[in-house]
């Protein structure tokens, strides 16, 4: 089975931004379609900026055209070598988009969900509610009390675990460790001792502030402490991990795929490793990272929601939770965008997301909608 065509459809859709908003916002999106010689198709979505025509024509098409559709590793390696010489134009997100479409194509061609191709480990995984970053809208996520109130709503929906993202610039230009701890302690008090809590904090704290918050999280019995400082400073994370008993998790935003993550393990810069299909360059490098963590006796918690994360979670034993979100009091996460017939990660009342049963990555794509809202095709 060869890859015969690489198509990209740019389309627009109405993004439901807020429950109370009378007007939906029009957003542009792109669908990458790989068509095989025997007529199977594999899909992946991305922003039109990421898979723009120059990237498709200069990097993606020359590498994929006519190649074996099951040669995912060869194609991924060729793309990342090309990425090195692209002067930053070919991004990890573009690489990820191609890798997702390759896995989706293989699954659809073999009529199997992707997690079965990788090798299934489980059929459901607990989700954590990943609350969006704070804002300054009264009654939204503007105060520690807002976080506490919203967390109670999430528990009522079935979530057994919740992660807070705090106020980052431009909402909070200056680090505010006391406000951070107030939000965390407000949530703990509101949801009680049995709900698992995590914090993804600010990203630019000093070592001293991060240590202050980390000790507070230990008192509040949080599960992990994520990205309080600039991740480019790996030695700051080694310093912090050494001083805290709460597990420090990372890196999430650092580039360098599994190579960077291997360095963090060697440096003792984290207790739990982190990788995501979008920023690491696809499912293929996330699997390598998860195996790296497993070989070092560590968990690798996956960053980001979506079909690719769900598929990976069903195949990776050393990952405890699925990140579901981002969630915000004003938006309805369970309403799929109009180009999908269903969300990729429906959650049951006990807080579990289940393995997809559809072939490929399991997304139920509304191709008629995309066709009807096409802007252009390349």
The footprint of Mg ion (CB under 5 A) covers: 200, 252
Question: Nearest approach, Cβ of 200 to Mg ion (angstroms)?
Answer: 4
Question: Nearest approach, Cβ of 278 to Mg ion (angstroms)?
Answer: 12
Nearer to Mg ion, 104 or 252 (CB): 252
3-state secondary structure of 229: coil
Q: Are 14 and 338 in contact (CB under 8 A)?
A: yes
Nearer to Mg ion, 227 or 345 (CB): 227
167: tokens are: 């106020």
Question: Nearest approach, Cβ of 101 to Mg ion (angstroms)?
Answer: 25
Residue showing tokens 């899909």: 43
Nearer to Mg ion, 64 or 131 (CB): 131
Nearer to Mg ion, 285 or 362 (CB): 285
Helices (H), 257-372: 257-267, 277-280, 283-295, 307-313, 367-372
Letter string b/e over residues 169-183, b meaning 16 or more CB atoms within 10 A of that residue's CB: eeebeebbbebbbbb
Which helix (H) or strand (E) is 43 found in, with range?
strand 41-46
Distance CA 141, CA 132 (A): 8
Nearer to Mg ion, 63 or 184 (CB): 184
Q: Which residue is nearest to Mg ion (CB)?
A: 200
**Edge-to-edge strand order for the sheet containing 41-46?**
41-46, 25-36, 3-15, 374-377
Question: Nearest approach, Cβ of 118 to Mg ion (angstroms)?
Answer: 24
Which residues have CB under 8 Å from 57's CB, separation 6+? Answer: 378
Nearer to Mg ion, 41 or 252 (CB): 252
Distance CA 75, CA 68 (A): 9
Question: Nearest approach, Cβ of 175 to Mg ion (angstroms)?
Answer: 17
Nearer to Mg ion, 104 or 231 (CB): 231
Alpha-carbon dihedral angle through residues 93, 97, 103, 105, given to the nearest 10 degrees:
180
Question: Nearest approach, Cβ of 189 to Mg ion (angstroms)?
Answer: 24
Question: Nearest approach, Cβ of 19 to Mg ion (angstroms)?
Answer: 25
């Amino acid at each position: 089975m060869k890859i015969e065509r690489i198509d990209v459809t740019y389309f627009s859709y109405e993004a439901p931004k807020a429950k109370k908003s009378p007007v939906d916002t029009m957003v542009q999106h792109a669908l990458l379609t790989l068509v095989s010689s025997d007529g199977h198709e594999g899909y992946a979505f991305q922003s039109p900026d990421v898979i723009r025509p120059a990237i498709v024509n200069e990097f993606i098409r020359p590498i994929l055209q006519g190649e074996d559709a099951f040669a995912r590793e060869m194609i991924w390696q060729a793309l990342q070598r090309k990425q090195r010489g692209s002067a930053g134009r070919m991004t990890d997100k573009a690489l990820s988009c191609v890798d997702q479409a390759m896995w989706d194509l293989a699954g659809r061609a073999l009529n199997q969900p992707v997690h079965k191709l990788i090798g299934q480990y489980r059929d459901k995984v607990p989700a954590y509610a990943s609350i969006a970053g704070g804002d300054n809208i009264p009654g939204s996520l503007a105060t520690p009390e807002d976080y506490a109130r919203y967390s109670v709503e999430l528990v009522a929906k079935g979530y057994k675990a919740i992660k807070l993202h705090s106020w980052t610039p431009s909402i909070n230009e200056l680090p505010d460790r006391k406000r951070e701890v107030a939000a965390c302690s407000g949530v703990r008090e509101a949801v009680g001792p049995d709900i698992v809590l995590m914090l993804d904090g600010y990203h630019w704290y000093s070592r001293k502030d991060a240590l202050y918050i980390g000790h507070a999280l230990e008192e509040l019995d949080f599960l992990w402490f994520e990205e309080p400082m600039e991740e480019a400073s790996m030695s700051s994370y080694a310093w912090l991990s050494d001083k805290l008993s709460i597990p420090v998790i990372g890196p999430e935003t650092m580039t360098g795929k599994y190579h960077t993550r291997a360095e963090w393990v060697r440096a003792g810069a984290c207790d739990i490793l982190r990788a995501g299909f979008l920023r690491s360059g696809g499912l293929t490098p996330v699997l390598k990272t998860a195996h790296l963590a497993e070989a070092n006796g560590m968990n690798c918690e996956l960053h980001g929601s979506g079909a690719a994360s769900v598929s990976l979670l069903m195949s990776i034993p050393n990952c405890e939770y699925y990140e579901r979100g981002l969630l915000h009091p004003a938006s309805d996460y369970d309403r799929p965008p109009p180009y999908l017939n269903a969300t990729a990660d429906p959650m049951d009342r006990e807080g579990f997301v289940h393995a997809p049963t559809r072939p490929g990555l399991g997304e139920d794509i509304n191709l008629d909608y995309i066709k009807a809202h096409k802007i252009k095709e390349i």
